[in-house]
Each structure stands twice: as C-alpha cells, then as structure tokens.
Structure 1
C-alpha cells in the first residue's frame, strides 16, 4: 500500500516539475558524502544557495527576497550512505553554460568539504523527462524526505527587470565569486562531462566518483 501511495506521489511530483521552467540540472557532491553528516551538508547547501542568490541578484537577494528558483533533491545513493543533492533551476544568466560553470566554481570553492569541479555535475538540460525521473528516483525509498524543502525556492519574481547598470554590477559580482581561471577550469569540467553524457546518455554516471 505504501509503495502504491509513493508511486502516485512521485508521479504527481514529476508532473509538477515538468510544469516548471528550468533548463539546468546539477549534482552537488562532497569530498566524502559518506562522512559529511546531513546536518552539516544542509548547512553548507543553504549557505551556498544564499551566496548564489547574492552573486546573481546582489542586494536585491535580501532587500527584495530575490532568489534563483530551484528544486532540490537529497539522494543517499545505492548504499544509503553517499549523501549528495540534485537540483534543477532556470538559468539566471542568458548564457546557460556560464551559469553551469559559475555554480560549479562557487560550490567547489565554498568549503573544504565541498567537492572539486570534476566531481560535481552541472549541465544544460537535454531531456527534461529523463531529468525529472532521475531526481525523483529515490522517492520510493525516502518518500518526501528526498525533497529538500529548506533549499527549494518555488517563487519566481517576474517583475524584476535588470538594467545596464545592474548587468555590470552582476558581472563584477561574478568575477569576485569565481575568477576567470576558476570559470575556465569549470568550463573544461563541463566539456568533459557533456562528452561523457553524450557518449552514454546515462545520468547514472553522475553518481560515480
């Protein structure tokens, strides 16, 4: 009975996700997901997303509560011990690959326990149905605990209209958050991961390493 209920709940969650606007899929890992406790992980993830919001929106992140819309999912891996987080977001930058590189570079530098560039996977979405199936695939076991409510932000601010001055300030914030060298290395990691994914078409590879 519980399995059938979770099956229905997962189907509803998938439908909800497919109705949202997102084009970036990511996996944030830790240096060792088996030793990083969930409490510590969530603290690092909250501070990370707060930083991303400030990089993208500047002071508006706090003054106007501007946030990058995001849907985050905790996974524990096949052995229930390898904690990591998957997410989907709409690219807040016009260049989707730049968004992927920025997010990876900020996470890799965030803390001694956050994984290096090559270990995280953040890519433009190719197949929305495959991504929604993947981010929800631990629902049958974890139930709603797989949804990281404390990290999600499901409230896009549609009345935010950036001007030229805002765009220049945002570029400065991005440079402070991730130097050109970091972004270049993140781009290389992205290129490698895209090549691997295109060769296999298997999202499961993100769990490895």
Structure 2
C-alpha cells in the first residue's frame, strides 16, 4: 500500500506538469551539494528565485507576478548531494529564459555552481522530463526546500502588457554579455546532449 501511494503521488505530479504548459526543465546545483546545510540551501534558493522574479518582472513582482514553477529538492544517488529540480513556464523566448536562469544562478553566490554544472533547457520530451523532475515525490516526504521555492501566480495575471525593453534592461543590468554568452553556450551543449541521450534510448528500445 505504501509503495502504491508513493507511485500515485508521483503520477499525479507528472500529470500536472505534462498538462499545464511547462516548457522549461532545470537542475540548479551548488559547488558541492554534500557540504551545504539544508537551512543555507533553502535560503539561497529562495533568494535566487526572488532575484529571478524581480529581474524579470520588476516592481510587478510585489503585485503577485513571478515565474510559474514547481520545485523539488533531491539528495542524489548517494543521498548526500543536495540540489534542486524544477519545471517552469518561460515569460519570453524559452532559450533566452533558460540562459538567463543559468546565468543568474551561476553568478549568484560563492556556493552556487558554474553554468556548466547546472542543467536548464527547454523541455524536449514532456513525459520523461516530468517523471524525472518529480521523481523525488516517490519518497513521500515533506520537501521544505522544494515547497519553499514553488510559485503559482493568480490565473488572472497576464504578461501581455509587460514592457519588453524594460525587462531586457533589468536583465542586462544583472548579467554581463560574457555571462549570458557562457550560459547560452551551455544551453546549446545541453540541448545537444539531451537529444543524443533520447536518440540512444530510442535506438535501444
């Protein structure tokens, strides 16, 4: 019964991710997830997502605007390497959004991983991405770090009236050209690697 409950919980998360328009999947890491305390990790992740929302939406973040996302913390195969999985909806071009997220995290704190170690890409295979991102829910435990970083805006809010030029200025004020180019380079590498993995799995099947 316990195992079935865990599977049903995971399947419900996967269904939500698949059916609600998420287009971005990511993993953001620390320089060494084995040597960071959960309390510090929670504080850094919350501060990061606050910075993302303020960068992308400016003062409108105070009115309930923000990146729509579900977040799930994990400890890795050895149960010690703390990191965060997420799915999100991009408020503008998805590739550029992925690069901005990676660039902002990689330069956020001395403990945050370089852009080459994080993994943030457009969703290329919806069901596989959903299952992988939410896999920690099979453990059926309270995920304070994940829950503390989720955000679901009111459905009444729309991005249609946002000033794209002002948004771009806020991004360039936070990221140098070099940081953005490095994050974009990693994005293209990760997309190619994901394509390669999917093709390999399909050929084996």
TM-score (norm 1): 0.89
Query: Which deviations, in whole Å up to 9, do the C-alpha atoms of 1:103-149 show, x marking residues without a partner?
Result: 00000010000000100000011111001110122222353428711
Partner of 1:68: 67
Aligned partner of residue 18 in structure 1, secondary structure = helix
Give, in whole Å, the separation in 2 of the partners of 1:160 and 1:185: 31
| Structure 1 segments unaligned to the other structure (5+ residues) | 203-209
Partner of 1:9: 9
Give, in whole Å, the separation in 2 of the partners of 1:160 and 1:193: 30
C-alpha deviation, 1:157, in angstroms: 4.6
Query: Which deviations, in whole Å up to 9, do the C-alpha atoms of 1:3-36 show, x marking residues without a partner?
Result: 1211122122222222212101011000000001
Contact 1:139 1:146 in 2 (8 A): no
In structure 2, the CA distance between the partners of 1:136 and 1:161, relative to structure 1 (3 Å rule), is closer
Partner of 2:31: 31
Query: Which deviations, in whole Å up to 9, do the C-alpha atoms of 1:72-110 show, x marking residues without a partner?
Result: 0111111100110011111111x1110010000000010
1:102 aligns with 2:95: no
| Structure 2 segments unaligned to the other structure (5+ residues) | 200-205
What is the aligned length?
199
TM-score (norm 2): 0.90
| Aligned structure 1 segments of 4 or more residues deviating by more than 6 angstroms | none
Give, in whole Å, the separation in 1 of the partners of 2:189 and 2:175: 20
Aligned partner of residue 43 in structure 1, secondary structure = helix
1:127 aligns with 2:125: yes
Contact 1:69 1:156 in 2 (8 A): no
